[in-house]
Structure 1
Amino acid sequence: MRRRDFLALTGLLAGLALTGCGDVEGNAGSLTFRNPLRIPPLLDPRADGDGVKRFALELRQGSAEFLPGKRARTWGINGDYLGPTLRARRGDRVAMAVTNTLGEATTLHWHGMRLPARMDGGPHQMVQPSETWSPEWTIDQPAATTWYHPHPHGETSEHVYRGLAGMFILDDDEDVDLPSDYGTDDVPLIIQDKKITADGRLDEDFGGTWGLLGDQILVNGTYDPHFRVTTTRVRFRLLNASNAHVFHLGFADDREFHVVASDAGLLAKPAPLNRLRISPGERFEIVVAFEPDEQVVLKAFSGDETIDSGDYDILKLAAAARLAPSPELPRDLVALTPPVAGRKVRRFRLGGSNINGQNMDMNRIDEVVPAGARELWELDNVTYEHNFHIHEVRFRVLDIDGARPPEHLSGPKDTVFVPDGARIRLAVEFGHHVDPKTPYMYHCHILKHEDNGMMGQFVIVEPGTEDEVPRPSPKTGHGH
Structure 2
Amino acid sequence: MTILTRRQALKLGALAGGSLILPIGFQRRSYAGDAGSPKVPLFSQQLRIPPVLNPVRSDATTDYYEITMKKATVEILPGLKTEIWGYNGITPGPTIKQRKDRQSIVRFINNSVGTPTSVHLHGMASLPQYDGYAEDLTNPGQYKDYIYPNNRPATLWYHDHAIHKTAINVYMGLAGMYLVQDDYELGLPLPKGEYDVPLLIQDKQFSSSGKLIFDNQGESSQMGDVIVVNGVPWPNMKVANRKYRFRVLNGSISRSYNLSLSTGDPITVIGTDAGLMGAPAQVSNFRIGMAERYEVVIDFSKYKVGTKIVLRNNHPANNDKYDNTDRIMQFEVVRTESDPSSIPSKLRDIQPIAESSAVRTREFRYERSNGLWVINGKTWDKARFDGNPQLGDVEIWKIYNNSGGWFHPIHMHLLDMQLLDRNGKAPFAYERGWKDVFYVGENETLRVIGRFGPNTGAYMSHCHNTVHEDHDMMNQFMVGTGGPDPIAAAPPKNLPAPAL
Please indicate, yes or no, whether the TM-score normalized by the shorter chain is above 0.5: yes
State how 1:110-129 maps to structure 2 within 5 Å: 110-129=121-140
- Does 1:343 find its partner at 2:359? yes
- Between the aligned partners of 1:112 and 1:59, the Cα distance in structure 2 is 21
Equivalence for 1:36: 46
| 2:334 paired residue among 307, 315, 320 | 320
Matched residue type, 1:123: A
Quick one: distance in 2 between partners of 1:271 and 1:309?
30
CA deviation map 1:169-207 (0-9, x unaligned): 1111223221121xx211111000111222211111223
Following superposition of structure 1 onto structure 2, how do residues 17-416 of structure 1 map, counting pairs within 5 Å? 19=26, 24-25=31-32, 31-45=41-55, 48-101=58-111, 102-141=113-152, 143-174=153-184, 175-181=187-193, 184-230=194-240, 232-290=242-300, 291-293=303-305, 294-306=307-319, 311-341=325-355, 342-352=358-368, 353-383=373-403, 384-416=406-438
Which residue matches 1:446? 465
TM-superposition CA deviations, 1:273-294 (whole Å, max 9, x none): 1111101010000000013412
Instruction: Report the alpha carbon displacement of residue 23 of structure 1 after superposing the two structures with TM.
Output: 5.1
Are the counterparts in 1 of residues 26 and 215 from structure 2 also a CA contact under 8 Å?
no
Preserved CA contact (<8 Å) 1:217 1:223: yes
Question: Structure 2: how far apart are the matches of 1:387 and 1:307?
Answer: 17
- Measured in 2, the distance between the counterparts of 1:422 and 1:309 equals 26
Query: How many Å apart are 1:64 and its aligned residue?
Result: 1.8
User: What are the residue-to-residue correspondences of 1:452-467 with 2, within 5 Å?
Assistant: 452-462=471-481
**TM-score by structure 2 length?**
0.84
- How far did 1:55 drift? 1.2
**1:45-83: CA deviation from partner (whole Å, max 9, x where unpaired):** 386235211111111111221222111111100123220
Which residue is 2:489 aligned to? none
Judge conservation of contact 1:35–1:226 (CA < 8 Å) in 2: yes
**C-alpha displacement of 1:372:** 1.9
Q: Which moved more, 1:65-74 or 1:389-398?
A: 65-74
Cα deviation for residue 306 of structure 1 reads: 3.4
1:372 aligned partner, one-letter code: G
SS of equivalent residue, structure 1 residue 450: helix
Give the secondary structure class of the aligned counterpart of 2:336: strand
How many Å separate the matches in 1 of 2:256 and 2:51? 26
Give distance in 2, aligned partners of 1:416 and 1:222.
27
Distance 1:94 1:269 in 2: 30
Deviations 1:211-236 (A, max 9, x none): 21111111000123111113500011
Determine if contact 1:371/1:431 at 8 Å carries over to the other structure.
yes
TM-score in terms of structure 1 length:
0.87
1:456 counterpart letter in structure 2: N
For residues 95 and 27 of structure 2, the distance between their equivalents in structure 1, rounded to whole angstroms, comes to: 32
Deviations 1:140-173 (A, max 9, x none): 12x2101010111111110000000011111112
Identity of aligned residues (%): 31
Secondary structure of 2:469's counterpart equals helix
CA distance in 2, matches of 1:32, 1:133: 40
C-alpha distance 31-249 of structure 1, shift in aligned 2 (>3 A): farther
SS at match of 2:64: strand
SS in 2 for 1:70: coil
3-state SS in 2 of match to 1:43:
coil
Q: Which runs of 5+ in 2 are unaligned?
A: 1-23, 484-500
| SS of alignment partner, residue 84 of structure 1 | strand
CA distance in 1, matches of 2:204, 2:121: 23
- Contact (CA 8 Å) 2:25, 2:217: kept in 1 or not? no
| Separation in 2, partners of 1:399, 1:164 | 34
Judging changes above 3 Å, is the alpha-carbon distance between structure 1 residues 30 and 57 closer, same or farther for their aligned structure 2 residues? Answer: closer
Q: 1-side partners of 2:54 and 2:402: how far apart?
A: 44
Structure 1 stretches of at least 4 aligned residues deviating more than 3 Å after TM superposition:
17-27, 29-32, 44-47, 306-311
Shift in alpha-carbon separation, 1:97–1:268, aligned structure 2, 3 A: same
Deviation at 1:22, TM superposition (A): 5.1
What's the Cα RMSD here? 2.1
Counterparts of 1:18 and 1:81, CA distance in 2 = 24
Partner of 1:411: helix, strand, or coil? coil
Aligned equivalents of 2:30, 2:366: Cα separation in 1: 26
Cα distance in structure 1, aligned partners of 2:146 and 2:349 = 32
